[in-house]
Amino acid sequence: MPTALLERRLLYVTGKGGTGKTTVAAGLAWLLAQQGKRVLACEVDAKGDLAAAFEAGKVGFDPVQVPSGPLVMSMDTEASLREYLKLHLRIPVIGRIGPLASAFDFVATAAPGVKEILTVGKFCYEVRAHAYDVIVVDAAATGHVISQLTAPQAINDLVKVGLIRSQTDWMLEILNDHDLTGVVVVTTPEEMPVLETIDLLRNLREQTDVDVAGVVVNRTLPELFGVRDEALFAEIAAARPGSLADARFDGVFDAARHATARRRLAARHVATLRAALPEGLPLAFQPYLFARAEGLRATRQVASSLAGEFS
Amino acid sequence: MTAPTSLRRLAETREILLCCGPGGVGKTTIAASVALLAATSAPGRVLVLTIDPAKRLADALGLSGIGNDVVRIDDETLRAAGAVPRGELYCAMLDMKQSWDDLIRRHAPDARTAERILSNPLYQNITGRFVQSHDYIAMERLHELHSTGEWDLIVVDTPPTRNALDFLDAPARMEEFFSSRLLRWLIAPARGGILGMAARPFTQIADKILGTQFLADITEFFLSLQSMYGGFIERARAVSRLLSDERTSFLVVATPEPAPLREAEFFLKELARRKYEIGGLVLNRALPESLAHHDTELAAAELAAQVAQVASETAAVLGADPAATERVLAQTASSSAQWSVVARREAAARDRVATAAPLVVTVPSLDDEVGDLSGILALGRVLGAPA
């Protein structure tokens, strides 16, 4: 039996842009915090959306405590480098790193993987340091996440000696430990997100040893009608006898038609996804939020439905 | 130029249209639709170029494996989809690795240098595994295609917003990078051997972190590239000029939901700040307007309140089961009420951005996903209608 998603210590939440991975990452972090765990939620692309999901205002590299929730931080590779130098080279750096930062920028541009490793390295470090029970990462979108997760291996291949090399080994150990680390892929029941999810799962399998802990299908619409009722609905909508013929009901029927059409499409894409998933991989559904699409209220709703799916 | 009154006019008067916006809003499909709209509304050679790593254009157009080549969608295929071609439609995708290799081969001073670069482990990593170089190569490819003079219009699909910003900055960053003192400084002593560098403090720290071999690889790589710097800088400048040229316009694509729309607004602001021309804002997948009407809400409430009576009348006329009819009508009413909430939120968001661009085009959510040419054609017609 693989370690349950909620029992792991590093959750790497990713997915195609626009699928709501930030909302799911926030929901997971909130849920874990409600279970009494000390949780660090970190946003990688610094858009501020994760902080907004907790109504936490502007958040930087230093974690901010969300009242009765997780601690939130935002990744900053320069700050991460500073921390790295302090921890590993014993070089305390006060204020801006100045020339060293530009030198670093240069090396990072020249030697891809350096920036990624500071990102991934920070999370692995937090796993090892045990200051938090669990780290939830609102990671990069599908295209970039592979390069982040493969960065330690890439550096390992490129750099034969030196400090970075000695660091990549333990990072790989943490990332590849299926009890500790799990990728959570967020998708929506739409064509492109589903195809991209299937691609991502294959790429993760082929290019890394990192385990996928679960797939979350976000914005799942409720089933409006059973098969027989749907046929009846079509009949009623076509005939609209009596008072229903009035034009003021146009919108009402439009809405239901829209809902059934979307639901039908979604079912098809979920079937495709299901057929492509490796056996035993948890697939969770997250309902479409009609009333609130963002903010702490939405995060709490997501957390409570994730609790039902993953516990 | 004066602002066109429709996307169709815009497509007819510009040479490059860049479609940008957040992920998951249907940018690729919109780009393809605009291209098809252009190819069916006027004579001319239209190319749609997708730069997205997910290579989605092939799916959207029902093509696959078109690689890095430019492929024509022949008139027969277009006619079969219901289009009346007046121009010619071509598509191309960006194969990163292939584009980099081509670039090196084309611009290296000689074959030996090209091979040395192509076989350097750093080069292979830059092009194969990592994404930062993506933005730059995308712009190179656009420049290359545009400078052939073969196209009347190139419609470009770009990576999601934050990336798209990188992509705008890529040429400038590349220039900065190649003209940096640091680079020259790193390479200069290398001519005297790695040992000559060892005395410098930066090298000491870098060496401690990265190891000598790796530094040697970096230096070797940039030494080989050095012969090509001039060309890189020159083309980077040419691309910057191309983006601000009056023949180039930007189309920002979003859906009328809070998060994507916020990103789109951010992007519009950035475009304006950089003085690029904003051609229009496309709000894709909007809910039917009727849902946001107050009347619809009242009607749904009325139906919910009188569902038993309406159901029995309806069932009688249709000869249907009264219980099932009541169940269906109750669901219809409650679903309508739920979607009205979403539709009102969308309507408010649309009001907010109504003047954010010279042209704001709303595209209704279609019952079926746009997955083939006829869908793309239909979408193009909606997009091209006068605002």
Q: What is the per-residue pLDDT across B355-373, written as a single tens digit (0 to 9) for each?
A: 999 999 999 887 666 667 8
For A229, which of B207, B209, B327 is closest by C-beta distance?
B327
Chain A interface includes B97 (CB < 8 A): no
User: What average pLDDT does the structure give for chain B?
Assistant: 82
Q: Please indicate, yes or no, if residue A198 is contained in any of the structural domains.
A: yes
Chain A interface includes B347 (CB < 8 A): no
Q: Please indicate, yes or no, if residue A210 is contained in any of the structural domains.
A: yes
CB contact under 8 A, B162 and A116: no
Give the C-alpha distances (Å, rounded to integers) separating B118 from A258, B126, B135, B343, B372.
53, 11, 19, 53, 38
CATH number for the domain that contains residue A49: 3.40.50.300
Q: Please indicate, yes or no, if residue A214 is contained in any of the structural domains.
A: yes
- CA distance, residue B180 to nearest chain A CA (Å): 9
Looking at the structure of chain A, the number of domains it has is 1
CB contact under 8 A, B122 and A229: no
- CA distance, residue B231 to nearest chain A CA (Å): 18
Chain B residues inside the 8 Å CB shell of A291: 341
CB contact under 8 A, B162 and A248: no
CB contact under 8 A, B217 and A158: yes
Chain A residues inside the 8 Å CB shell of B328: 225, 229, 232-233, 236
Tell me the residue type at B358.
Answer: P
Chain A interface includes B305 (CB < 8 A): no
pLDDT at A42 over 60: yes
Residue A117 pLDDT grade (very low, low, confident, very high; cuts 50, 70, 90): confident
Chain A interface includes B158 (CB < 8 A): no
CB contact under 8 A, B296 and A251: yes
Chain A residues inside the 8 Å CB shell of B293: 251
Q: Which residues pair with B191 in a beta bridge?
A: none
Residue tagged 């669901």 (tokens): B331
Q: Please indicate, yes or no, if residue A306 is contained in any of the structural domains.
A: yes
pLDDT of residue B216: 73
Chain A residues inside the 8 Å CB shell of B186: 106
Q: Please indicate, yes or no, if residue A33 is contained in any of the structural domains.
A: yes
What proportion of chain B, given as a percentage, has pLDDT over 70? 76
pLDDT of residue B58: 66
Q: What are the pLDDT digits (tens) for B143-161?
A: 999 999 999 999 998 865 4
pLDDT of residue A103: 57
pLDDT at B53 over 50: no
Give the C-alpha distances (Å, rounded to integers) separating B324 from A137, A225, A236, A246.
47, 10, 11, 22
Report field, pTM of the whole predicted structure over 0.95: no
Residue tagged 């926030």 (tokens): A26
Q: Please indicate, yes or no, if residue A275 is contained in any of the structural domains.
A: no
Helix, strand, or coil (residue B112): helix
Q: What are the pLDDT digits (tens) for B239-277?
A: 889 999 999 999 999 999 887 898 899 889 989 998 999
Chain A residues inside the 8 Å CB shell of B303: 249, 252
CB contact under 8 A, A161 and B260: no
Give the C-alpha distances (Å, rounded to integers) separating B155 from B30, B142, B202, B246.
10, 10, 45, 15
Structure tokens at A42: 């970190």
Find out whether A191 and A175 touch, Cβ atoms under 8 Å.
no
Query: ipTM for the complex?
Result: 0.81
pLDDT at B65 over 50: yes
Domain hosting A76: range is 5-222+280-310
